[in-house]
Amino acid sequence: MSRSEAYTKLIKEEAKRLGFLSCGVSKAGFLEEEAPRLERWLNQNKHGEMGYMENHFDKRLDPTKLVEGSKSVISLLLNYYPQKTQQEESYKLSKYAYGTDYHFVIKDKLKELLHVIREEIGEVHGRAFVDSAPVLDKAWAAKSGLGWIGKHSNLLTQQVGSFYFIAELIVDLELEYDSPVTDHCGTCTACIDACPTQAIVEPYVVDGSKCISYFTIELKNEIPTEFQGTLDDWMFGCDVCQDVCPWNKFSKPHREPLFDPHPELLSMTKKDWEEITEEVFKTIFKKSAVKRTKFSGLQRNIQFLKGD
């Protein structure tokens, strides 16, 4: 076994031990296919008010400009599919936001993985990323053979669907590289047909400025009144395109206790959400990604859903 094969085997075994769903590796370099796509998407203002998407264009497409001397992108998936979901009569939260903010959970696992790499292999320079920097997570995961990018623009795998987080370690280490897998969306248009705001404007293209997740999380101003009655009771994020995807019937519940929801969250009704106080918000979402929208943001979303 060559040195790069041995290193890759070690990294993948360690990723599994840390609870990652899967691990794939690709050669760090310029993402040729993604460049024109990203440029076109930005030029058509499909990022709405997400101005940060325009920043660091070159770094977004080439990790060697982001991490000096980098040779490999290690992509990792972490399952967040919950055992139980919210009750029917409730305003809805995206499943990824049920438990502890994934940034913290995954960052700790990535730090440990990098620590083991350094202990076993030696002086390795690298950086961990959890959608916290200009890295095209889905493109790298697809390049690393972890799945294909579906018509809803999320990464999909035949074995476990799409309810998982994507993260990377970018390192200056030569490794064995994986190959991309084929697209298995076929003629299915379930996600396109089901999107409440018709944000999937064509297969594989999402207009971010029409997406419910954008309205309820990213948008700082008022939600446009033309979308009144179309948000399908989503108050933070949206899972519709994933919920209807046939591949997600293979989703299995995660085994990460930190992703378990606060006990009260699953039993709350619409009335409970409408009457939520800042104190209850702070208790339920103490370490949650929902804190991103703040109490005022969640209230704004609920008022909009109520039609007030």
| Under 8 Å between Cβ of 158 and 250 | yes
Taken in order 260, 263, 264, 267, is the CA torsion positive or negative? positive
For residue 44, give both structure tokens: 């058509």
**3-class secondary structure per residue, 94-148:** CHHHCCCCHHHHHHHHHHHHHHHHHHHHCCCCEEEECCCCCCCHHHHHHHCCCCE
Q: Which of 58, 62, 108, 131 is catalytic?
A: 131
Residue 148 to residue 155: CA distance in whole angstroms: 6
3-state helix, strand, coil in the chain (%, to 5): 40, 15, 45
Residue 289 to residue 80: CA distance in whole angstroms: 13
| Tokens 């971010």 sit on residue | 208
Q: Which amino acid is at 173?
A: L
Residue 163 to residue 85: CA distance in whole angstroms: 13
DSSP one-letter code for 170:
E
Residue 29 to residue 17: CA distance in whole angstroms: 28
Helix axes 102-121, 3-17, angle to 10 degrees: 140
131 among known catalytic residues: yes
Distant-in-sequence contacts of 271-276, Cβ < 8 A, 24+ apart: 272/90, 273/90, 273/91, 273/235, 273/302, 274/302, 274/306, 276/302
Active site residues: 131
